[in-house]
Amino acid sequence: MNLNLYGHDGQWLMVDCGVTFDEPLVAPYLNQTTGSKHHVVAPDPSFIVAQREQLAGLVITHGHEDHVGAVAALWPRLRCPVFATPFTAELLHRKLGQVGLAGKVPVQIVNPDATLTVGPFVLSWLAITHSIPEPQALLISTSAGTVFHTADWKIDAQPISGKPFNANLYRQLGETELLALVGDSTNAIKPGFSISERICAEGLNTVIKRCSGRVVVSCFGSNIARLISLARIAQQTGRYMALLGRSLENMHGVAKKTGYWPDDLDVLEKAHIGYLPANEVLVVATGSQGEPRAALNRMAIDASPYFELEAGDTVIFSSIVIPGNEKAVERLLEKLRKKGVQVVLSEDSDVPIHASGHPCVEELKLMYQWTKPQIAIPVHGEPEHLEAHGAVAREMGVKRTYVGRNGDLYLLAPQPGIRRAKVKVGRIAIEQS
């Protein structure tokens, strides 16, 4: 879950405000007794709430839950303007409506290539590639220097949805004496490059063509490109695609409303699945992380109201197992296998059936080669990822690299440095409507 604060000239800018799921209120890497898990966990915003008059605004870089999921719960304590591109804004409006905040939050819709002044910050939105429509990097310019906040990104020259990665945008930053890069560390321990979403689509097509019974694919619900790929595969293989899970259905609705869903791709009403021959069914379902309340687990225990999985059916995991979810996923796999269902995991597949949305080592190297920042600040990852990202930055010649933890205060100008545990931070449980 992401919540970043940039301070300058007596004011603050918040970038992203997300949640995490089924987590304790103490971070596992602190090696403390974590206690029970909570379904939805957000960062504790007390530090900025105590000075919210100085909060100039909140920018949401894209629509993933770990970047936008806490806005509806925390905004009543923040009371600041919110800035988002059209797809992300539509997602946010729906979340706000669920908690009675429709029309009450000042959400300003910005174009993906916009430049806007918010308090003492001049903000430029930069198109980048990731696993959801309209992912944005953010250039934050002040009188003290300019910071490049990458948010989540990868290099994808062949995305299914959106424009290909444009390296020229980032080469231009290297000519501007960029003060700092604050960057995604999620895949910093993985060598090479991430694969393109189009390569993933080809792999899924190969696997699904082999299947004779029903096919259920579980993937992260926000990956519109993956859903578009699967809808095309359904067309090509004589199947009908349906969606099971509220997050999938909501994302599909947002994609249609904002023009990201192709007009020629139909999605079957889920109530009709049970009436089709098994070899004509392709279902995309939530629950790739073993969540007990998700659609896939309900199928595994014969609790779905739409159809029952049978021997000869195939469940494809077009995802990775997020660390910490291994036991839950293993329990789910055991249930599926007991039913005689064939299971295809992305790590065991002979062709690629999942593509990460985050940069691997060679992509990080290229970004540093292009942008040439004076300072590197790895974020968005566990400690081992941050350390690995820092090592990449140093290898690429970055003069100063600061690897910190939640609550550290990074000083960027005029004298760079880092103050450890300067800000009291924590986690809070929030209710989900």
The number of C-alpha atoms within 13 Å of 414 and in the hemisphere containing its C-beta is: 1
Residue pair 12/2 in contact by the 8 Å Cβ criterion: no
Q: Which of 77-86, 272-281, 321-330 has the lowest mean pLDDT?
A: 321-330
CATH 3.60.15.10 range(s) for the chain read 3-193+356-429
| Domain 197-345 homologous superfamily, CATH | Metallo-hydrolase/oxidoreductase (3.40.50.10710)
pLDDT digits (tens, 9 = 90+) for 242-272: 999 999 999 999 999 999 999 999 999 999 9
Taking the domain 3-193+356-429, which CATH number applies?
Answer: 3.60.15.10
Q: Which tokens sit at 419? A: 């103050």
- Portions of the chain given CATH number 3.40.50.10710: 197-345
Stated pTM of the model: 0.94
pLDDT by residue (tens digit) across 289-348?
999 889 999 999 999 999 999 999 999 999 998 877 899 999 999 999 999 999 999 999
Q: 354: which 2 tokens?
A: 């999942």
Question: What per-residue confidence (pLDDT) applies to 30?
Answer: 54
Measured torsion, CA atoms of residues 125, 127, 131, 133, in degrees rounded to the nearest 10: 80
> Among candidates 206, 196, 145, which has minimal Cα distance to 173?
145
Q: How deeply is 416 buried, as exposed, middle or buried, from its count of CB atoms within 10 A (0-12, 13-18, 19+)?
A: middle
Mean pLDDT of the chain: 95
pLDDT per residue as tens digits for the range 107-143:
999 999 999 999 999 999 999 999 999 999 999 999 9
CA atoms within 13 A on the CB side of 130: 22
Taking only the tens place, the pLDDT of each residue in 185-199 is: 999 999 999 999 999
pLDDT at 34 over 70: no
Confidence class of residue 73 from pLDDT cuts 50, 70 and 90?
A: very high
